[in-house]
Amino acid sequence: MENSIAVVGSGLVGAVLAMSLKDRGFDVTVYDKSEDIRKVDFSGRSINLALSERGWKMLRKIGLEDSIREMAIPMFQRAIHTQDGKVNYQPYGINGESIWAVSRGNLNKKLVDLAEERGVKFAFQTPVWGVDLERGVLFSAEKESDQWDEIKHNLIFGADGAYSRVRLQMQKHSQFEYQQSYLTIGYKELIIPADVEGKHQLDKNSFHIWPRKDFMLIALANTDGSFTCTLFMPFEGEVSFNAIQNISDLNVFFDIYFPDAKTMMPDLEKLYFRNPVNSLVTMKCFPWIYGDKAALIGDAAHAVVPFYGQGLNAGLEDIDVLTHIFDGAENKDWKKILQKYQDIRKPNGDAIAELSYRNFQEMSELTADPMFLLRKRIETNFSKKYPELWLPLYDRVTFSGGTYLEALKIGDIQKEIMDEVMQIDRIEHIWNSPEIEEIMKRAIQCACKETRDKD
Amino acid sequence: MENSIAVVGSGLVGAVLAMSLKDRGFDVTVYDKSEDIRKVDFSGRSINLALSERGWKMLRKIGLEDSIREMAIPMFQRAIHTQDGKVNYQPYGINGESIWAVSRGNLNKKLVDLAEERGVKFAFQTPVWGVDLERGVLFSAEKESDQWDEIKHNLIFGADGAYSRVRLQMQKHSQFEYQQSYLTIGYKELIIPADVEGKHQLDKNSFHIWPRKDFMLIALANTDGSFTCTLFMPFEGEVSFNAIQNISDLNVFFDIYFPDAKTMMPDLEKLYFRNPVNSLVTMKCFPWIYGDKAALIGDAAHAVVPFYGQGLNAGLEDIDVLTHIFDGAENKDWKKILQKYQDIRKPNGDAIAELSYRNFQEMSELTADPMFLLRKRIETNFSKKYPELWLPLYDRVTFSGGTYLEALKIGDIQKEIMDEVMQIDRIEHIWNSPEIEEIMKRAIQCACKETRDKD
């Protein structure tokens, strides 16, 4: 079994990683504690995915782009629903780019199908309770308290998500840096069903947001005419999940804050009280690898909150980088390959965690503050005029091929410049003037030079 | 078994906690994966303990003060060994207080003896692999991969140290905040044996330090005439554990940096290459409790680096606070008792973690900078003259009964004032003047007023 690799976790990243490794000649088995996802009704605790450029790049590489596009819906803009029922549209990407809504469950089923077709083996209902990292052994049993069986492989990938068991094993080793932190807001899934004709009740090519500062509702289209909605809100406090105790509380809350959405949700009461409130965790750790025996990938290595829509994209980019290193490696020495993978990806995992954490505020304040909107407009205008000088942060993260770390750094520089611009006297009147343009030009050129000199 | 409590971990905190609970009428069993410590030679990876006021307070409460004093050695001062072989003495405490050196192994044996005498049951070689927090069940087996047995108790205390299994179980629950971080310096234990007459080769009533900025050696007296020494040093780098690869490297290193200590260490070569390099972890988590079923205590709740000598003292203070709450509770409702314990101790656990982390620099720079020494002298002088206005941070942490959190806050205020004082022109000439005294008086009075107004 010189050639055998275990992938723990049959989620999206696990399935794509398994296929990628199988394509490179390895004998790959995917382990998952859950039942075969193709046999279960998938629902209840998943924010719909937004696939963007990084994710597509990896899917393209593995020849799946076309088959996945078929089940995805492009979103060219944000549709901002204000409390008085108006809708404002903000295009994504300054060049008409789009992100793509796709159902996590359907995508996962499809990926498992495709992986199986290519010869990847799946061991479902095979929970991994422990790992012997030295020996490359997985321990499995029906229950954790049962006698464990040993399963030996040459290399183990932990693609087992934010609560990774492979990582838990690493955590027991000395010198393992680890941090997990939860937001005080949680989320709950809701549905806007198709209308009587089976059509979407809202524009399907928009990412719908009802931003209300400390909480927000979002909606992403499904191919069956429905929208998967997610309500993000504090667990505790005046306006919170905890404050909604009964149907009357719920109706009052939606009547005040989301009256337009409410009219499209006939099953609101049922869904609200049936679906759980889920948590949002940010997890950072180091190292991600153990010699030539194990590595973490995707959420297992860098669990992020969903506010940049980059969780899956970051995981797929991990595979992109890993396979790129593998393909370029002369003697296919996994120790060196994993080391390089970690060197490249760890700083970017941290960066997307940070960017995702910051973006909740940005998303939820989208309409609250006219100065915030003006700020965005100044940026967009300048960027259109000087695309080589200024790519807005969102575009850099979502549509560019640059690293997350670079995006974070340049984003901070841009933020500093915009903070100063917004302090300029009478900015709301002169924002579209050559004077402001000149200030921004000089500031960004100067900052870029400083950064270059430092590096 | 209405009355049954499990304490996981038979270390110092576990043993004292078990006794305290037994004294209050509970049926207490202590579980430990290791052999009975009384049957093993204890050595190799323990920094000798420094017991200070908080620890003594708890030992007094449980009637153990006298028996433990017998095995402890008071240290009234720091003995600072400079590289040129000189020794400077700095008294601890402005009022002649002392801290007490005691061997971790001997103390632990003694505590297990005493606990057993009082009716505490010990289950050694009984590793706890998992915990069912809902049901108050411990899972044990010889090996983790064996079939686990269930052991049921009404309440479980995790006193199982920095790598707590009870905590690991809590970590798997949602909303558990967790952070572990290692220093880039490690430590190795060495010995200065007794001289031919069985006497101490250095003053036994001093805490000996050889501070060398990025690394240091310390020595604490044992009752048998020897000193337990600890070398703290970076793992990697020019001067590091990694840089000492053979006997010649070792001798050169000690000849340069610790020539005086070296002459007292006949077994240096043997011990250095036999003893492991150990890691230093800081761990913070939240919550510490699970309903009325489980609680973390001591290092399991707040693992700190050893540079304030407060690790054990903080753990014993946990027990002091917990038993104080228990004794005052009207209906002995463990849910409320544990909640209150957490409310009081969590901020203080964080505070001592922070203080301990900061103190490495302070300890290792003790001689490096004359301005640093001047600063200490100014503080000490002022404190002696105005004890009601200024208690130095070390004294507050080590000898006062105030909380760690208070110590941290007031310490920060004092630091700010001293930073400013040290900026005063010609401070090295005028430091002992009424002018400086007046400046400090006004600054600390003003800062205290501000703090009071804020609270």
Evaluate if residue A40 carries a pLDDT over 90: no
Contact B177 A175 (CB under 8 A): no
* Contact of B207 with B79, CB cutoff 8 Å: yes
Mutate to test the interface with A, among B133, B173, B175 (most CBs of A within 10 A): B175
- Check if A277 contacts B (Cβ < 8 Å): no
Question: Does residue B42 carry a pLDDT above 70?
Answer: no
Residue A47: is its pLDDT beyond 70?
Answer: no
pLDDT band at B366 (very low <50, low <70, confident <90, very high): low
Residue A261: predicted pLDDT:
97
pLDDT, tens digit, 9 for 90 and up, residues A133-163: 999 999 999 999 999 999 999 999 999 999 9
Q: What pLDDT score does B41 carry?
A: 74
CB B423 within 8 A of CB B431: no
Per residue in B71-103, is it b (16+ CB within 10 Å) or e — as a string? bbbebbbbbbbeeeeeeeebebbbeebbbbbbb
Token readout for A395 is 């575009």
* Phi-psi label, residue B125: left if phi above 0, alpha if psi -120 to 50, beta otherwise: left
CB atoms within 10 A of CB B50: 25
* pLDDT at A366 exceeding the cut of 70: no
Whether chain B has a CB inside 8 Å of the CB on A184: the answer is no
Picking from A130, A139, A178, the nearest residue to B178 by CB comes out as A178
Q: Do B176 and A174 touch (CB under 8 A)?
A: no
- How confident is the model at residue A44, as a pLDDT? 43
Side chain identity at A326, as an amino acid letter? F
In 3D space, the residue among A295, A299, A344, A353 whose CA is nearest the CA of residue A324 turns out to be A344
- Record the pTM: 0.89
pLDDT at B119 over 90: yes
Q: Is B168 on the interface with A (CB under 8 A)?
A: yes
The answer to whether residue A263 neighbours chain B at the CB level (below 8 Å) is no
How many residue pairs from chains A and B have C-beta atoms closer than 8 A? 58
C-alpha to C-alpha distance for B348 and B403, rounded to whole angstroms: 7
What's the gap in Å between the CA of B351 and the closest CA on chain A?
A: 18
B287 cis-preceded (ω within 30 degrees of 0): yes
* CB contact (8 A) between residue A147 and residue B144: no
B80: which 2 tokens?
A: 């600072």
Tokens of B135: 């049901």
The residue among B183, B356, B285 whose CA lies nearest residue A177 is B183
Task: Give the neighbor-by-neighbor strand order of the sheet with B149-152.
Answer: B128-132, B137-140, B149-152
The whole-angstrom distance between B182's CA and the closest CA on chain A is 6
Instruction: State the residue for tokens 């014993």.
Output: B316
Lowest mean pLDDT among A31-45, A430-444, B245-259, B400-414: A31-45
- 3-class state of residue A194 by DSSP: coil
pLDDT tens for each residue of B268-308? 999 999 999 999 999 999 999 999 999 999 999 999 999 99
Q: What is the pLDDT of residue A368?
A: 58
User: What is the band of B47 on the pLDDT scale with cuts at 50, 70, 90?
Assistant: low
Say which residue, A284 or A42, is predicted with more confidence: A284
Name residue A210's amino acid.
Answer: W
What b/e readout covers A184-210, taking b as 16+ CB neighbours within 10 angstroms?
ebbbbbbbbbbeeeeebbbebebbbbb
Determine the pLDDT at residue A200. Answer: 96
pLDDT digits (tens, 9 = 90+) for B370-396: 888 899 889 999 999 998 899 999 999
Chain B CB within 8 Å of residue A178 CB: yes
pLDDT computed for residue B350 by the predictor? 95
pLDDT at A76 over 50: yes
Please state the rounded mean pLDDT for residues B247-252: 97
CB contact under 8 A, A182 and B176: yes
CA distance linking residue A426 with residue A421, whole number of Å: 10
Catalogue all structural domains in chain B, each as residue range(s) with its CATH number.
Answer: 4-38+49-72+104-180+282-360 (3.50.50.60), 369-453 (no CATH)
pLDDT at residue A369, rounded to an integer: 72
Name the 3-class secondary structure at B360: helix
The CA distance from B418 to the nearest CA of chain A, in Å, is: 33
Mean pLDDT of B239-256: 97
Residues B320/B17, Cβ–Cβ less than 8 Å:
no
Q: How confident is the model at residue B251 (pLDDT cuts 50, 70, 90)?
A: very high
CA B365 to chain A, closest CA, distance in angstroms equals: 25
- CA-atom Rg of chain A in angstroms: 23
Q: What is the mean pLDDT of residues A431-454?
A: 85
Q: Any idea which residue has 């308290």 for tokens?
A: A145
How high is the pLDDT of residue B364?
Answer: 73
The rounded distance, in Å, linking the Cα atoms of A156 and A8 is: 7
Q: What pLDDT, in 10s, does the model give residues B230-239? A: 999 999 999 9
**B181/A181 CB distance under 8 A:** no
Please count the helices (runs of H) and the strands (runs of E) in chain B. 15, 21
- From B147, B150, B279, residue closest to A174, measured CB to CB: B279
The CA distance from B128 to A310, in Å, is: 39
- Using CA atoms in the order A29, A30, A35, A36, what is the torsion angle rounded to 10 degrees? -80
Average pLDDT over residues B184-190: 94
Q: How far is CA B218 from the centre of its chain?
A: 15
Residues 6+ apart with CB under 8 A from B311: B299, B303, B304, B356
**Closest listed residue to residue B351, CA positions, set B401, B390, B302, B313:** B302
The answer to whether the beta carbons of residues A233 and A240 sit under 8 Å apart is: yes
Model confidence pLDDT, tens digit, residues B78-110: 999 999 889 988 888 777 899 999 988 889 999
Chain B residues in contact with A131 by the CB 8 A cut-off are: none
Q: Convert the pLDDT of each residue in A389-420 to its tens digit.
A: 999 999 999 999 899 999 999 999 999 999 99
Distance CA A130, CA A169 (A): 7
Please state the rounded mean pLDDT for residues A321-331: 97
Q: For residue B243, give every residue at least 6 positions away whose Cβ sits within 8 Å of its Cβ, in sequence order, or none.
A: B237, B249, B253
Query: Which residue do the tokens 């957490």 mark?
Result: B342
Please tell me the predicted confidence (pLDDT) of residue A372. Answer: 84
Which of A130, A168, A175 lies nearest to residue B144, judging by beta carbons?
A: A130
- Chain A residues within an 8 Å CB radius of B148: 144-146
Separation between Cα atoms, residue B372 and residue A287, nearest integer Å:
37
Q: Write out pLDDT tens, residues A85-109.
A: 899 888 887 778 999 999 888 899 9
Contact between chains at B180 and A176 (C-beta distance less than 8 A): yes
**Chain B residues near residue A161 by CB distance under 8 angstroms:** none
A181: contact with B, CB 8 A cutoff:
yes
Provide mean pLDDT across the span A302-314. 95
Q: B452 pLDDT exceeds 80?
A: no
d(Cα B417, Cα B264) in Å, to the nearest integer? 42
Question: What pLDDT sits at residue B328?
Answer: 97
B386 interfaces chain A, CB cutoff of 8 Å: no
Show the 3-state SS of B129-166: EEEECCCCEEEECCCCCCCCEEEECCEEEECCCCCCHH
Among B219, B269, B210, B212, CA closest to B245: B269
Contact flag B179-A178 (C-beta cutoff 8 Å): yes
The answer to whether residues A129 and A140 touch, using CB atoms and an 8 Å cutoff, is yes
Say if residue A38 is exposed, middle or buried (CB neighbours under 10 Å; 0-12, 13-18, 19+): middle
- Residue type for B25, please? G
The per-residue pLDDT of chain B, averaged, comes to 93
pLDDT value at position A172?
86
Task: Considering only the beta carbons, identify the residue of A172, A175, A179 that sits closest to B179.
Answer: A179
A110 touches A59 (CB < 8 A)? no
Residue A4 has φ and ψ, to the nearest 5°, of: -95, 135
CA torsion sign for A249, A254, A259, A261 is negative
Instruction: Report the Cα–Cα distance between both ends of chain A, in Å, rounded.
Output: 45
The answer to whether B100 touches B75, Cβ cutoff 8 Å, is yes
User: Sign of dihedral through CA atoms B81, B82, B87, B93?
Assistant: negative
Cross-strand pairs, A220: A228
Mutate to test the interface with B, among A132, A175, A185, A283 (most CBs of B within 10 A): A175
- CB-based contact (8 Å) between B148 and chain A? yes
Which residue in chain A has the smallest CA separation from B142?
A147
Indicate yes or no: CB of B279 within 8 angstroms of CB of A175: yes
Q: Does B146 touch chain A (CB under 8 A)?
A: yes
For residue A287, cis peptide bond before it (omega within 30 degrees of 0)? yes
| Per-state percent for chain B, helix, strand, coil, to nearest 5 | 45, 20, 35
pLDDT at B45 over 60: no
Residues of A in contact with B171 (CB under 8 A): 180
